[in-house]
Amino acid sequence: MIRKLLQKLPNPFGHPVRHRTTPAVIPASQHNLRRERISRHAVNVVERLQQAGYQAFVVGGCVRDLLLDFDPKDFDVATSATPEQVRATFRNARLIGRRFKLVHVHFGREIIEVATFRAGHDEDNGDEQSRQSDSGRLLRDNVYGTLEQDAQRRDFTINALYYNVSTGHIHDFANGLHDIRNRQVRLIGNPVQRYQEDPVRMLRAVRFAAKLNFDIEPHSAAPIIELADLLHDIPAARLFDEVLKLLMSGQGEKTFALLLKYDLFAPLFPDTDEAIQANPDYTLKLVHQALRNTDQRIAQDRPVTPAFLYAALLWPALPPRIKALEARGIPSIPAHQQAAQELLAEQCRHTTVPKRFTIPLREIWDLQPRLERRSGRRADQMLEHPRFRAAYDFLLLRESAGEQTDGLGDWWTRYQDASEDKRRQMVRELADKPTAKRQRSRRKRKPRSPQANP
């Protein structure tokens, strides 16, 4: 009888409530998360907040990652203290954010992010603390609430686990441990509504699935393709940050495949997406190879830069723009420059690329035709160029995707290791090479464009 009654009660999440398989509070003896693995600064923040009389927990990605034996990227703290109260508790604390107010507590280079418990947004009160757009997107999310409410407003069940460093208990109000065990990325609540509130959650679903090697639970996966275009409403600066997390965290290749699968790539890189449609073999090869190299470098702790990755992602989108400009009678060299300029400007409308990356990106592109010109002292000057290494790596990348360059990459590989005498000889041989001469004279009239169809 009671069960029947319960079944008739309206379910706020719009789909069947799953029965708990684990208790809401799990004692230290029943999980494998050890306090020693938490940053001592995060422990310090939690303990000081607790001593000041507030509730405080380590929460989110770090709890999830530690349970799965990954090294957490950072440590987040959730507390009942308001941002102002948190700031008053620490000398080294700064209030940040408007859409979502937070406190950053600084310990040298480590920052502990402290968020106040939030409640959900059942109705749009349209006041100072909570605002929603017509599509249901949360424009402001500063309605404070209880611990239980805070768990419900988080994105995924696996991100809603709270660890109390003093007792060793994990608080699990959304059945996150169950999903960790079954390797599922599952939204809390009604997926459509949660994606409408914040479309970036679609990207986060894909990111966690790739990073953790989880599946996206079918109800959470189903609406994504339909809603993918909502990403167009998200500020381009936020999307740039997300793109870096998606493609430059060590699982870029896998993440890219998922972005394509869920139609989430097009709203981020519309021009590249068009190039994929027009010329799939070449474009996909280039992008996959660029991401594979990036993943490898990250695995080897070598530096990676968004300038190089963006240069690669956008390169296949250049030739159609160049052609269109040339068809309007613009000469080749200015057409190249203008196409590059316009493509980057267009990309910045979707994911703002900061200047410190667009400048080296343009250099990598501009050096591509210059790598072909090797006569006299030009090759040596090129070797001295601060961006030579990136430009050379980029050339190899183009070749690996099938671009025909007449052995240019191999030439540069040999040239770098050659003795002075050998270098002179290589440059002389170039001048004697009939094909090279022909290419040079042809290029004088019309510089070669990036090849979309190698």
Indicate if 410 belongs to the active site: no
Between 220 and 259, how does the x/- string for binding to ligand ATP read (CB under 6 A)?
-------------------------x--------------
Q: Per the residue annotation, which of 76, 141, 150, 273 is the catalytic one?
A: 76
Exactly one of 65, 141, 155, 179 is catalytic; name it.
155
Q: Helix %, strand %, coil % for the chain, to 5?
A: 55, 10, 35
Nearer to ligand ATP, 198 or 271 (CB): 198
Instruction: Assess contact for 183 and 213: CB atoms under 8 A.
Output: yes
| Binder of residue 201, out of ligand ATP, Mg ion, none (CB less than 5 to 8 A by kind) | ligand ATP
Under a CB-based contact definition with an 8 Å cutoff, are residues 397 and 312 in contact?
yes
Shortest distance (Å) from residue 312 CB to ligand ATP:
23
**What secondary structure does DSSP assign to 284-308, as a single string?**
HHHHHHHHHHHHHHHHTT----HHH
- Residue 417 among the catalytic residues: no
Q: How far is the CB of 317 from ligand ATP (least distance, A)?
A: 28
Residue 200 touches ligand ATP, criterion: CB under 6 A: yes
Q: Which residues contact 47 (CB under 8 A, 6 or more apart)?
A: 56, 165, 166
Considering the complex, state which of residue 12 and residue 402 has its C-beta at the smaller distance from ligand ATP: 12
SS3 203: helix
Residue whose C-alpha is closest to residue 270's, from 313, 227, 240: 313
CA 174 to chain centroid, in Å, comes to 26
Asked if residues 313 and 269 have their Cβ atoms less than 8 Å apart, the reply is yes
Member of 33, 49, 59, 61 binding Mg ion (CB under 5 A): 61
Q: Is 379 in the site for ligand ATP (CB under 6 A)?
A: no
Residues 178, 201: Cα–Cα separation, whole Å: 20
Considering the complex, state which of residue 49 and residue 317 has its C-beta at the smaller distance from ligand ATP: 49
Binding flag, residue 83, Mg ion (CB under 5 A): no
Residue 139 phi, psi dihedral angles, 5° rounding: -95, -25
* Binding pattern for the stretch 73-112 against ligand ATP, x by CB under 6 A and - elsewhere: xx-x------------------------------------
Distance in Å, CB of 113 to Mg ion, minimum: 7
> 316 and 325 in contact (C-beta within 8 Å)?
no
Whether 263 sits among the annotated catalytic residues: the reply is no
> If binding is defined by CB under 6 A, does position 60 make contact with ligand ATP?
yes
200 binds, among ligand ATP, Mg ion, none (CB under 5 to 8 A by kind): ligand ATP
DSSP string of 217-262, one letter each residue: PHHHHTTHHHHGGGGGGS-HHHHHHHHHHHHSSS-HHHHHHHHHHT
Residue 159 binding partner per list ligand ATP, Mg ion, none, with a CB distance cut-off of 5 to 8 Å that depends on partner kind: ligand ATP
Q: By CB under 6 A, which span of 46-54, 68-76, 389-397, 421-429 interacts with ligand ATP?
A: 68-76
Distance CA 153, CA 194 (A): 9
Query: Which residue numbers are catalytic?
Result: 74, 76, 155
**Residues near ligand ATP (CB under 6 A):** 60-61, 73-74, 76, 154-155, 159-160, 198, 200-201, 245
**Residues near Mg ion (CB under 5 A):** 61, 74, 76
